[in-house]
Amino acid sequence: MPFTKRKSCGPIFKARASTNARRARRLSATALDSNDRNPGTNQGARMTTETTIDQPNIIYTDAEVIVDSRGTPAEAIWIRDGRIVAVGSNEEVLSIAGPDVERQSVPGATIIPGLIDTHPHLLHFSAFIAPLVDLTEVRDHDEIVELIQRKAAATPKGEWVRTTPIGEPHYFQRRSFRHLTEGELPDRHVLDRATTDHPVIIQAFAPVLPNAIALNSAALSVLGIDASTEDRVSDVWIEKDAAGNPTGILRGAVTNYYNSDPFFAELSKLMPPLIQPELAPAALAKAMAVYNGLGITTIYEGHAMDFDHIEAYQMMHAHGALSLRVHAVPELEPAALPGDLPKTDAEIDATLERALAMRSVQDDWLRIDGITSATFGPCFNGNIAWNEGYLDPWGNVTTGKRVVSVEHNRRAFEFCAENDLRLNLCACSPDEHDEHIAMTEEVLAKHRLERTNWIIQHGYMVREDQAKKYAELGFSMTISTSFTFGKADMLAERIGPKALEVLNPLRHFLDAGLEVAGGMDWGPCNPFEHMQLAVTHRMYPSGRTNAGPAQVATRQEAYEMWTQNGAKLMGWEGIGALIPGNHADLAILDRNPITCDIDALPETRVLMTYVGGRVVHDTGLGTEPDVQSERTGAKR
């Protein structure tokens, strides 16, 4: 069967994100196209009775239909009215269907439940990249100049032209500016070839620190950087030529978020806001389409979600513009950008009350539930908690940086216990986990509760005893193999080999009985590569692995982290499994992601994706010459 190649992720970046300071926080959802239909309400029935023109009544046959990751696949699946009607052998399913059902043979294809990403940051970074020139795929300086020229021609003189970094986001390990033909960022002289009428910046995205950016002459002038500027200001190094003039290359603390450097914070005030709210709705719609092309049908937006961010999803839903099911969780105290200021006790209390008031868990497309606290932060910038001390980006010993106080966390723990609000904790190190476990036990004892239903988000360095304790306390766990992929080499260098022993201990999580669900976060932008990484634990750029008895999951377990486990973690019935009565959320693939060669798993192509019985991604599956379709009397 000649399958059509899946579109690449392009510039849709999965990253840990935050609000865009106080100056550009609101993500408007105006000017939305309202052509998409909203689904019906969730009645919990085995099938619905209303039929809409965009919900096919179709049986796919001759496929591998994964009903149970540990069992024998079925051959056929029937979907109608947005629900799964039947799954079984070709003969079984066809025998119960009437003559008006469309039938399509897809030999060689595998049909799986729609995938669930439990840490996408889809809203933040779809909005973030909307104004930027995309340089992720460029090969040399000439291409960079051409793309910036094109943008400058459509931009009023004096306004900034900003670009993405060069290469594969977000770690830029496998591909970066170092892989350009020239092997380096373009300096101001090269960028001046693109335009002298606009300030230009090639940005650096978190998390990697130190990092580098490139500016043209106009940008240097706007920022007040010239020969008289010190070679180093705070933790920013200004590269200069032999004559002492800035080259346009700045290194060090130059990322656009997770960056507390005071000098770069001042420079940032002279640049445009990172987000242009008027571009956010279209950017989010595009990002959802990219996710659909990856076979993803549901996301858990649980980190750095300010209330206005959730309102953007509410507006999209009101316009019928969602092509993903979304579960959102508001943030207790955002702290990723320089403009994110600590909250007062009164503001924390108001945030908790508002989170409780907006709780909504019945809608088929958008659910809101819980509160998230991210107490410390990443390791690249020296925020992660490590009481024994480790090296920050500049070679200094640090024990981390707290951004949510003990008192504010205590208020959240107490409030959630008292009001049955689901607490989410973004936690990264054993010392953070010790603190959270102790406070959980204290609060449960005080309120005479036996267990929580709380969540640890990407708890990527965890001891075995902590995994067992979290399971005893009723926690679930979202994980991201992103941190093995892009952080493991750095962790080994700054903390030491002991960090690798407790990094992404998926085996310990599973054996402890935790519900473990996967998320892409900072990338790579490929859920099938994350399934591979759950087995291989490959580290980049070194290519080493920390796969040991604490880490390695089976192929079946890796697959379940992206399907049924995500549904269970969210408590969202009707998704994550291909069983009669469930929503018709499914993806048709060119291979079986459980049994294919593991080296080929990242090359999996998604041929078609359904959400609620609606086709949201289609490579032309129905027109493939080896796909046989019988449409007599059928309506689709």
Per-residue pLDDT of 450-493, as tens digits, reads 999 999 999 999 999 999 999 999 999 999 999 999 999 999 99
| C-alpha closest to that of 626 among 239, 175, 261, 106 | 106
Mean local confidence (pLDDT), 422-430: 98
Decide if 64 contacts 73 (C-beta within 8 A): yes
Domain 1-128+276-369+577-636 has CATH 3.30.1020.10: no
What's the confidence (pLDDT) of residue 159?
99
pLDDT at 414: 99
pLDDT, tens digit (0-9, with 9 covering 90-100), for 537-565? 999 999 999 999 999 999 999 999 999 99
What's the pLDDT tens digit per position in 267-300?
A: 999 999 988 989 999 999 999 999 999 999 999 9
The amino acid occupying position 390 is Y
Contact (CB, 8 A) for 379 and 494: yes
Sign of CA dihedral 218, 219, 225, 226: negative
Tens digit of each residue's pLDDT (9 = 90 or more) over 560-580: 999 999 999 999 999 999 999
Q: What is the pLDDT of residue 622?
A: 58
pLDDT over threshold 50, residue 633: no
Cα–Cα distance between 375 and 404 in angstroms, integer?
5
Q: Which tens digits make up the pLDDT trace of 379-399?
A: 999 999 999 999 999 999 999
Residue 554 phi, psi dihedral angles, 5° rounding: -80, 170
477 neighbors 518 (Cβ within 8 angstroms): no
The per-residue pLDDT for 338 is 64
Element housing 391 (H / E): strand 390-391
Contact 553, 535 (CB under 8 A): yes
* H, E, C per residue of 200-233: EEECCCCCCCCEEEEECHHHHHHHCCCCCCCCEE
Which residues touch 347 (CB under 8 Å, ≥6 apart)?
A: none
Residue 98: band (very low, low, confident or very high) from pLDDT cuts 50, 70, 90:
confident
pLDDT, position 54: 65
Tell me the two tokens of residue 300: 């858990």
Average pLDDT, integer, range 44-67: 68
What number does CATH give the domain 371-573?
A: 3.20.20.140
What digits encode the pLDDT tens for the residues 4-52?
333 333 333 233 333 333 333 333 333 333 233 232 222 222 222 223 4
Closest CA to 596 of 532, 524, 548: 532
For 180, the token pair is: 């350009």
Across residues 252-272, what is the average pLDDT? Answer: 96
pLDDT at 274: 86
**Per-residue pLDDT, 468:** 99
Are residues 109 and 64 in contact, defined by beta-carbon separation less than 8 angstroms?
Answer: yes
The continuous run of DSSP H or E covering 162 comes out as strand 161-163
Compute the distance between CA of residue 518 and CA of residue 117 in angstroms, rounded to an integer: 6
Burial (CB < 10 A; 0-12, 13-18, 19+), residue 309, is buried
Q: What was the pLDDT predicted at 52?
A: 40
* pLDDT > 90? residue 410: yes
| Mean pLDDT (the chain, rounded) | 91
Strands 246-252 and 296-301: unpaired
| pLDDT the model gives residue 419 | 98
Task: Give the length of the chain.
Answer: 636
Please give the helix or strand (H or E) that residue 606 lies within, else none: strand 606-611
How many percent of the chain have pLDDT more than 90?
Answer: 86
In this structure, how many other beta carbons lie within 10 angstroms of the beta carbon of residue 468?
Answer: 16
**pLDDT confidence bin for 621, thresholds 50/70/90:** confident
Crossing angle between the packed helical segments 345-357 and 406-419, to the nearest 10 degrees: 30
pLDDT of residue 43: 28
Q: Is the pLDDT of residue 624 over 60?
A: no
β-strands 83-88, 76-80 pairing: antiparallel
Q: What integer pLDDT is reported at residue 321 of this predicted model?
A: 97
> Does residue 83 register a pLDDT over 60?
yes
Quote the distance between the C-alpha of residue 416 and its chain's center: 25
- Is pLDDT above 70 for 2? no
Tokens 């840490």 — which residue?
A: 119
**C-alpha span between 538 and 98 (Å, rounded):** 50
Q: Tell me what the mean pLDDT of segment 62-81 comes to.
A: 98
Strand ranges (E), 526-593: 586-589
Largest CA distance in the chain: 83
Both tokens of 204, joined, read 């650096």
Residue type, 124: H
User: Confidence band (pLDDT; 50, 70, 90) for 235?
Assistant: very high
3-state secondary structure of 239: strand
Between β-strands 211-215 and 246-252, what pairing exists: parallel, antiparallel or unpaired? antiparallel
- Amino acid letter, residue 531: M
Q: What percent of the chain has pLDDT above 70?
A: 89
Instruction: Return the structure tokens found at 530.
Output: 């994350």
Domain boundaries, the chain: 1-128+276-369+577-636, 132-269, 371-573
Of 35-49, 141-155, 213-227, 231-245, minimum mean pLDDT range:
35-49
